[in-house]
Amino acid sequence: MTFRNGLDSLLRPEDSVLVLIDHQPYQLANVNSHEPQMVINNTAGLAKAAKAFGVPTILTTVIAAQGGHLFPQITEVFPGQEVIDRTLINTWEDKKVVDLVKATGRKQLIIAGLWTEVCVAMPAIQALGEGWDVTVVTDASGAVSVEAHQVAIQRMIAAGANMMTWLAVAAEWQRDWARTEQAVALTDVIKQHAGGSGIAFLWEQQLLNTPVPNKAG
- Cβ atoms of residues 126 and 155 within 8 Å: no
Would you give the end-to-end CA distance of the chain in angstroms?
69
Single out the catalytic residue among 39, 98, 119, 120: 119
Q: CA-CA distance, 166 to 34, in Å (whole number)?
A: 14
Q: CA-CA distance, 61 to 70, in Å (whole number)?
A: 7
Widest Cα–Cα separation across the chain: 77
Question: Alpha carbon of 168 to those of 46, 75, 171, 173: distances in Å?
Answer: 10, 22, 5, 9
Catalytic (active site) residue 7: no
DSSP per residue, 114-175: B-IIIIIHHHHHHHHHTT-EEEEEGGG-B-SSHHHHHHHHHHHHHHT-EEE-HHHHHHHHH-
For residue 62, what is the enclosing H or E element?
strand 57-62
17: exposed, middle or buried (Cβ count in 10 Å: 0-12, 13-18, 19+): buried
Q: CA-CA distance, 24 to 15, in Å (whole number)?
A: 27
Catalytic residue numbers read 119
